[in-house]
A and B are shown apart, each in its own frame.
Chain A
């Protein structure tokens, strides 16, 4: 679980969904468009907080960009300007509004039937004190295992967002307990935006180790000997650690500083 970046941070994950920066309600795009896609329940949306009127919504303290959910369509209101779907997923009810767009696949849109489940992707908005979803895409669910999958994904992201919070976006881990080389290794895994070691659990740990090393502040980084001391047992030998360091350097996650034995993270 420690390496799970599914917290909606990276736009390259998720449903293969590419977001462009259009503001489809006609307003100018916000100063920094949040490229995240977060799986949620309607309950979470309704409980989402807004720091300022018209501002971004937060769930579990995280700013949310777009949300994705699975819900049953209980009412369809087709007006000329937009379709309004009343959807519920057992945790709450909300309106999902969709403007017709050139990108739409008419077959898909027309196949949303009453009392069937749909996968909805959109943005949370407020109107008259009530949240609604501005729909980017809506498609019928064809395999109901997707319902199970979605709920599990919601839980995973929720747990990830509320438990292993170490530092914020891009800020280096503020783990205070760091003292011994070997201690803080396993628990400290940042849910930070960047894929700091790639998809590898150990690589992320090495990156964390360097970030927490006294040498980080000066830019010197951590000495190879220190890294070996901390990871040799876990990786199965000094040569394995060296291999890993070489790979991480080649992949651009680390760079050498004063000499070939000092490693720093590139972030």
Chain B
């Protein structure tokens, strides 16, 4: 599968990424077909539109997908991120990475 470049985002950044493909790591909260709800690293709530491959096996999941105008994410592929992922540090990293477009 060939993926475009994807920025790591938290919930606050979704507003500026409409139409883009992003990388989102969230804490899985619930699912109600066809959508699932996640808690983002900045504590915002994010809705993910699932696809056939969506299976969230651990507490934290990384979802790669496109951002819809309503700031939900339509999933392309997801990866389990384990049960002990540190969201605070991750959020700090995501925000810092924003400032270095030459690297990220």
Contact = CB atoms under 8 A, between A and B. Distances in A.
Interface in A144-162: 144-145, 148, 151-152, 154-155, 158
B89 A145 contact: yes
A149 to B, nearest CB: 8
Interface string A74-118: 110000000000001011110000000000000000000001110
A74 B3 contact: yes
Contacts of A152: 89, 93, 96
Contacts of A90: 5-8, 23, 104
A44 interface: yes
Interface string B75-104: 001010110111001100100110010111
Interface residues of B, number: 26
B1 A151 contact: no
A115 B62 CA distance: 11
Interface residues of A, number: 24
B85 A115 contact: no
13 contacts: A74-B1, A74-B3, A90-B6, A91-B5, A144-B81, A144-B82, A145-B84, A148-B93, A151-B97, A152-B93, A155-B93, A155-B97, A158-B103
Interface of A: 41, 43-44, 47, 72, 74-75, 88, 90-93, 115-117, 143-145, 148, 151-152, 154-155, 158
Given A74-B2, A91-B103, 18 more contacts: A41-B103, A41-B104, A44-B103, A72-B79, A74-B1, A75-B1, A88-B3, A143-B82, A143-B84, A144-B81, A145-B85, A148-B86, A148-B89, A151-B8, A152-B93, A154-B103, A155-B97, A158-B103
